[in-house]
Homo-oligomer: A and B are copies of this chain.
Amino acid sequence: MSQNQILQSLIAENLVSDPSGARGRLLTEAARLFREKGYERTTVRDLAAAVGIQSGSLFHHFRTKEEILKAVMVETIRLNTALMQAALEAADTNREKLRGLVRAELESINGQTGEAMAVLVFEWRSLSAASQVEVLELRDIYEKLWLDVLESLKREGALEADPFVVRRMLTGALSWTVTWYKPERGGLTLDGLTDQVMAMMAL
């Protein structure tokens, strides 16, 4: 399944919003603005202006500003979980599975969904405690995909360090690429970057 096919099936199941619809367009713009200026510095007037409506009209679609942030995060995790599962299915060996996950996560972080992914990392604290719990449950499913592969690699002897620690390190390292990786300059492609990550781990 291609990336686009996965997105389409999630839209069909009503798990993520269609980016061409009103709600989806707002969420896309919200992710862009939250990423660019941060959640707190982005006003409901900014959000409304970005989609061409009045600020008050936002509250017809979402009850609060925070609900918008939560929706961005929830839909992002749902999409990414599906993308990672597809990456796993396309690989045979555990080493290839890890490479697939790394490559897919790098693509999520630095591709079209990059803004939403950055929001997930950097605006976490702006979520209310209640919403954090909800989003954490989704994230656990996502993390399990990684841990299973890393644990298999450890059992094979290909990995020396603790799988749990390695996943945490990879989370940080891969997320951080959003602050410096620019494909257009430097000539480093996403595949090249993936190679570097694997080389760094001597895998």
Q: Is A8 an interface residue (CB 8 A)?
A: no
Bound CA–CA A197/B125 (angstroms): 27
Residues on B with C-beta less than 8 A from A11 are none
Copies of this protein in the complex? 2
- Residue from A172, A174, A175, A193 with most neighbouring chain B CB atoms (10 Å): A172
Q: How far is the CB of A29 from chain B (nearest CB, A)?
A: 18
Q: How far is the CB of A159 from chain B (nearest CB, A)?
A: 8
Q: Chain A contact residues (Cβ within 8 angstroms of B): what range?
A: 20 to 34
Residues on B with C-beta less than 8 A from A40 are 38, 40-41
User: Is the beta-carbon distance between B38 and A126 smaller than 8 angstroms?
Assistant: yes
Which listed segment binds B: A13-21, A129-137, A161-169?
A: A161-169
User: Is the beta-carbon distance between A172 and B168 smaller than 8 angstroms?
Assistant: no
List the 10 closest pairs (A to B, CB-CB), nearest first: A172-B176, A40-B40, A202-B202, A169-B173, A161-B199, A172-B173, A172-B172, A173-B173, A161-B200, A160-B199
Residue positions of A touching B, CB distance < 8 A = 37-38, 40-41, 122, 125-126, 160-162, 165-166, 168-177, 180-181, 188, 193, 196-197, 199-202
